[in-house]
């Protein structure tokens, strides 16, 4: 079984400052890793995903994440945030392969980012 821990439930940050959202996972098998964003009163939107290859993954809206296998982490970063980045961010995993879990995502508890002017 997999579990995902997002170490910060809330992260206040000033506009144009950098932000890092931490995500650690535990799994007995290798996993695919995802970051989703949820704006108020909306569904989830995929920011980026790691399946294999380069450990630095670039996503939409200037976000990037780095996969660290030895630390079982997948932290999300943005060098300069905007007011519009105020949202909740979710880290998620899937074990690869159809037989393992299909498309079942296991989510972390979420991190609320509040960007202040």
Binding site for other proteins (CB under 8 A): 32, 34, 36, 41-46, 49, 51, 90, 92, 94-98, 100-110
**What SS3 string covers the chain?**
CCEEEECCCEEEEECCCCEEECEEEECCCCCEEEEEEECCCCCEEEEEEECCCCCEEECHHHCEEEEECCCCEEEEEECCCCHHHCEEEEEEEECCCHHHHCCCCEECCCEEEEEEC
CB of 45 to other proteins, least distance (A): 7
> Between 63 and 90, whose beta carbon lies closer to other proteins?
90
CB of 62 to other proteins, least distance (A): 19
> Between 66 and 88, whose beta carbon lies closer to other proteins?
88
> Between 10 and 80, whose beta carbon lies closer to other proteins?
10
CB of 116 to other proteins, least distance (A): 23
> Between 32 and 62, whose beta carbon lies closer to other proteins?
32
């Amino acid at each position: 079984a997999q579990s995902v821990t997002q170490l910060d439930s809330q992260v206040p940050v000033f506009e144009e400052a950098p932000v890092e959202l931490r995500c650690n996972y535990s799994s007995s098998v290798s996993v695919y890793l995802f970051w989703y964003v949820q704006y108020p009163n909306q569904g989830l939107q995929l920011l980026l995903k790691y399946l294999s290859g380069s450990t630095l993954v670039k996503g939409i809206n200037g976000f990037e994440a780095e996969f660290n296998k030895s630390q079982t982490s997948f932290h999300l970063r943005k060098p300069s945030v905007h007011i519009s980045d105020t949202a909740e961010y979710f880290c998620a995993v899937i074990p690869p392969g159809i037989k393992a879990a299909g498309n079942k995502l296991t989510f972390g508890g979420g991190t609320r980012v509040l960007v202040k002017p």
